[in-house]
Amino acid sequence: MPKLDSYLFREFAQATFAALVVLMMVSLGGIFADVLGDIARGRVPAGLMLAQLGLQILNYLPLILPLALMIGLLLGVGRLYRDSEMPVLTSIGVGPVRLLRPVLMVVVPFLVAIGACSLWLGPWAQRYSEKMIQEGNRSLLVAGLEPGRFTELPGGGGGVVYVGSMSNDGTRLSRVFVYRQQDDRLDVTTAKTGAMTFEGDGERFLRLDEGFRVEGPMNDGRDFRLMRYASNDLRLPEGERKRRENDPEMLPTTELFGDARPEANAQIHARIAPPLLALAFALLAVPLARSSPRQARYGRILFGFLAYLVGMNLMLLGTDWLGDDKLPGWMGLWWLVLPLLAVSSWMYLRDGRVRAGRIARAGATA
């Protein structure tokens, strides 16, 4: 590898890696908040928090990596202009075409990673996440109950439960105490044994056997009722709704090509578009980074970030339009990807030529 390519590749790679680390830290906070919200609403068992966090990150990488690539190239190329290195390189004949090799050395691995996440890892993560949630909802151990401790009912059901012991698979309990309150009434239930049961479409019940139930007012009053029961079913909060097995968002990409539904066609284009958009943004970053040594460098980054927001929002809107059959299926997202690739390629190849022409005319006039 020539020394110049090695130097430029190192500069671009370091800037891109730094941008990726910052964006991952910011995105991780948002994803973590979403997962915690699902756990608080009872849609996801508490024991699956870390696993769901990792799977959700794989699903969001096709949106994070293109922005990290664009900002990294803007920072790397912008530093060369700020330190007057690019004028020196231009004076020895290193133009946009010669700069393409080190740029692609950084871009190509990112495109491979984006394509892998968009076409394969993202759908796989959604399928595996759904499977883990469905299996986790069948185990009170995964849902957050621990033997020997007072724990809130899974999903924030407005009560506390104590379990003396639990089977290894988390489905059978013994020495159960449940306290619940609703409005101004309290309900205390005890049972010798218990088990998890299911009815209908994912409805979960905690079946309690051989126990007592006391119900009465929380404040003043003597309206208490004591019942002894042989079996009592306690309905648990609903878990995450199970998706359809043929949901296009969860199907492998190879199975979508034989699906005639508009939603399947929308998913095909939504998975193909991210690597192509990332290539367009990467090419666009080089001419956007052009600046004079004393020019502010962050204005171009803001312009590139706005271009990314517009492009990604149009991609998401176009996916919805294709799924709702508001756009012809043959059009897909090509109306967005191809013009953006053409404009970015033209700007990359024309970078610096207009200014060079003006300088030449100015010198001839002088």
- The answer to whether 315 and 267 have CB atoms below 8 angstroms apart is no
Identify the weakest region by mean pLDDT among 39-48, 76-85, 334-343. Answer: 39-48
Same domain, 283 and 176: no
Q: How far, in Å, CA of 87 to CA of 78, rounded?
A: 12
- Tell me: do 7 and 124 sit in the same domain: yes
pLDDT digits (tens, 9 = 90+) for 152-194: 765 555 678 888 888 777 678 888 888 887 777 888 889 988 8
User: Which pTM was predicted?
Assistant: 0.75
The residue out of 191, 207, 235 marking a domain boundary is 235
Phi-psi bin for 308: left (phi > 0), alpha (psi -120 to 50), beta? alpha
Please indicate, yes or no, whether residues 252 and 204 belong to a single structural domain of this protein: no
Say which residue the tokens 């759904």 belong to: 130
Evaluate whether 239 touches 137 at the Cβ level (below 8 Å). yes
3-state SS assignment for residue 122 = helix
Q: Please name which of 9, 3, 1, 20 lies closest in space to residue 100, comparing C-alpha atoms.
A: 9
Q: 42 and 22 in one domain? A: yes
In a domain, residue 363? The reply is: no
- The residue range of the domain holding 258 is 3-136+245-356
Q: What is the pLDDT of residue 260?
A: 84
Average pLDDT score over the chain: 82
Total domains in the fold of the chain: 2
Least confident of 197-201, 217-221, 302-306, 307-311: 197-201
The reply to whether 352 and 302 lie within a common domain is yes
pLDDT at 29 over 60: yes
260 plus 126 within the same structural domain: yes
Two tokens, residue 295: 């020019």
Percent of the chain's residues with pLDDT above 70: 83
Considering all CA atoms of the chain, what is the largest pairwise distance in Å, rounded to the nearest integer?
106
Q: Domain for residue 208, yes or no?
A: yes
Instruction: Verify that 199 and 341 share a domain, yes or no.
Output: no
Instruction: Kindly state whether residue 365 falls inside one of the protein's structural domains.
Output: no
Residue 37: pLDDT above 70? Answer: yes
Closest of 121, 119, 19 to residue 69, by C-alpha: 19
120/63 same-domain check? yes
3-state secondary structure of 37: helix
Please indicate, yes or no, whether residues 252 and 196 belong to a single structural domain of this protein. no
* Rounded Cα gap, residues 62 and 205, in angstroms: 39
